[in-house]
Structure 1
Amino acid sequence: MPKNSPLLLLTLFCIVLIPLLFFLRADMLLRPSLNDSCDPLRNALERSDNGEHIKPDSTLVLGANAAIRWRRPPDSVNGVALLIRGIAGLHPQQIGLCYARLIAHYHPQNVVILTDPRWADDRIDTMANALEGIVAARDSLGRSDRIFALSFLLTPANQQDDQRIQTQNVALNHVADASTGVEILDINDSLRGSGGNPAPRFFWPDGQTLNKAGYEYLSAAIENAISAAPMPPNELSSSHARPASNDNT
């Protein structure tokens, strides 16, 4: 072995390792934690909002990786504009704590919260408690946004945790049943193969990220839910309001 081989190996090691450590550190700094204020979330959203015309009364889809990786969503669902906002590292409890900026800021008609596989690693009741906080934040602001939450997906990567995921989804449904204007979207049955297990054809090779075919089922579920959901009270009253009289006729 040449005498300078150790030095060469050390140089190559530094060239590869130092940028990698810098990248990982930067990624950790960019991800907001539960102890942070809403400012990091606001900053992340402003980068997405800049240059985009935001239509009120849209369907806002909010989440972490599941929202970020929805590359080609439809422009609208059931005639309502679709607005996708994804924040890396978003925790479900932050949605309720920062509801004013994350959701109310956009004045949506519908809100779809995409659960993240990482959220399933928390306590069984973490997402259910977060959903209760989201509903409480909506009500405290006097808003009538219809809230839809995607149930935890059973995927090829986590199918061994089937019982745990089902328990978490049952908890989500309990919150929805006890809340006004909240519905759980469950597409797990649509993503199963002939043997009853999650079909790999709906996921990327990582076994947990929906691919184009999987997102098509999600889009259809959102459309069906919006069509079937009852109209909020304020919209219902306005739709039945008598037309203003015209004294000139």
Structure 2
Amino acid sequence: MPKSILITGASSGIGKATALFFAEKGWNVIATMRNIRDAEDLAPVKNILILPLDVTEMESIENAFTIGTEKFGKIDVLLNNAGYAQYGIFESLSDKQIRNQFEVNVFGTINVTKSVLPIFRTQGEGMIINVTSGSGRFSVPLMSLYNASKFALEGFSESLAYELASQNITVKIIEPGSTASNFHHTLEESTVSHSAYNDYIQHLNSRMDIVRKNTSASSSVPDDIAATIFEAATDGTQTLRYVSGKDIQPIIDMRTSSSEEEYMRFMRNIFS
């Protein structure tokens, strides 16, 4: 019997690439997203079931699990992928922007995870894979909220990995590197109208220059990240973290193998 995976945020990027990758490997895929009209590329694939799911709405989460299990009989893996990055100088961000970042990235993942646990316990097994980021292991300027949300997911996931082992439920973390994005547009949109903009403009320009130089050359490709997720789901190990992105591995190595002083000097040299 083919295995099944439920993926949140499957309308684009990593989620979409992962849905197609698993389907090509013969898995049944429950591809969920807020707006199913965004799923045109997935609709023709016969072993992909497209369902609406908003990670901030418990009713839609529970409906997706109910319909998915009725369709495929079992859910073997949950991939918590839905999320977004809020860029900007912290001082410039509104209370709404701050809360929305955590409602989706942190509480959304918690909502979906809590809903799947009774299913996995009844089955006697299951796997939860949480997509965090290199930004869950180290911080960078102008992404304080995103960093905070991903650091929270790292701690949440590691704790669950110990706790859920008692229920034969495995937890794994995927840490993608940087991906091509509309960084510059969203950064300017969230910052330029703030009264403190002129005080930060030199730092903003410097940071944006760094991103321009590095993003296109070293960005992670969604298909490569999908392959890493498939490895995590099928390698049969208790490995917790999987790094997917050559651009972030040197920073993670520095973070884990150097003294705090050496690490901070290394990072300040990049961003000063």
Q: Give TM-score scaled by structure 2 length.
A: 0.45
Higher helix share: 2
Report 1 or 2 for greater relative contact order, CA contacts < 8 Å, sequence distance ≥ 6. 2
Structure number, greater radius of gyration: 1
